[in-house]
Amino acid sequence: MPELPEVETIKVRLNKVLPGSTISDVSVSKEKSFHGNTTAILNKTVNKVSRRAKIIRIHLDGAHDLLVHLKMTGQLIYHSDDGLRLGGGHPTADWVSQLPSKHTRVFFKLIKEDQTEAQLFFNDMRIFGWIKSLTKEEILAEFSKYAPDINSNKVTPEYFFSKLQSTARKIKQVVLDNAVIAGVGNIYACDGLHLARVHPERIANSLSRDESDILLASLKEVIAQGIDLGGATIDNYRNVDGFSGGYQSVVRVYGKEGQACVQCPGIIQKKKIGGRGTYFCEGCQH
DNA sequence: TGCCCCCTGCAG
DNA sequence: CTGCAGGGGGCA
């Protein structure tokens, strides 16, 4: 579920607690969820946590680091013996349940600097997500498959416009394409297009330079707002203190079928575009 | 470039 | 029961 702002939020949270802890045990209950050799990360200490695209990177003091992709329903939940529980991901009952839960796919035991114990749970209902143990070089190769992050200064108006010029796909699909820009998912794509007043079915190479500039600025704006608000928590499951962002309170169109548009007299409608549910307003998006 | 697929669970 | 879910890889 998480897009760039949600993953960024999770990264910030984990960065407050993981550095300095050593991985003392790894338990993989679903083979599909962990790629690589678990022994390569045993007894390694976390240096820091970073993010690229929608991937979380846990830097370790060895040859290998861990990459975590939450995909649609992944969660990373940290729990320490002093009762602290935090992390992020799909807001489900797993937050409040006894851990490991039935959706726990990978389970790390950690020894903190003060020698007390902590745990890191990777829960993933649909088993689309993964954790990979890779060398620093392999990680560079993995990341090179992704275009620059949307909030990076490498994504310039010139860059974006040239990408739009080179394809006849619908603009919504281009915005979601990791080979064009990384980090934008369905919520922020819908909202960014709405803020820019660009119809999601517009053919990418039909956008003028001005429209392209406005769309890029709008995407950067909603992403920045998402990061600022700690991401979105759309499905109103009980969130407890596990993960509850604030973006859902300012969301423009996503999930708002039938509701009034915030920038014109229109009504938000929903249509499937490129296999993804897409929310937009015919009144102001052209 | 578009379609199907990976999977589980929940709402309609 | 069917359809749908904040992702994205593989395939023709």
Q: Mean pLDDT throughout A108-120?
A: 97
What rounded mean pLDDT belongs to chain A? 94
The residue from A13, A54, A57, A197 that is catalytic is A54
Extract the tokens encoding A220: 């950067």
A218-253 as b/e: b if 16+ CB within 10 A = bbbebbebbbebbbbbbeebeeeebbbbebbeebbb
Looking at residue A240, its pLDDT comes to 47
Tens digit of pLDDT for each residue in A258-279?
999 999 999 999 999 999 999 9
Extract the tokens encoding A108: 């790390």
Pairing of strands A130-135, A34-35: parallel
The residues, ordered by sequence, that sit 6+ positions from A151 with a Cβ below 8 Å of its Cβ are A4, A183, A220, A223, A224, A227
Q: How many residues does chain A have?
A: 286
Per the listing, tokens 């001005």 go with A210
Q: Which nucleotides of B are covered by protein (CB under 7 A)?
A: 1-9
Comparing every residue's Cα with the C1' atom of nucleotide B7, the nearest one is A126
A133-163 as b/e: b if 16+ CB within 10 A = bbeeebbeebeeebbbbbbeeebeeeebbeb
Instruction: Tell me the whole-structure pTM to 2 decimals.
Output: 0.96
Q: Mean pLDDT throughout A66-90?
A: 90
Comparing every residue's Cα with the C1' atom of nucleotide B5, the nearest one is A128
Residue A63 pLDDT greater than 70, yes or no: yes
Compute the radius of gyration of chain A from its Cα atoms: 20
Q: Is A3 a known active-site residue?
A: yes
The CA distance from A140 to A274, in Å, is 30
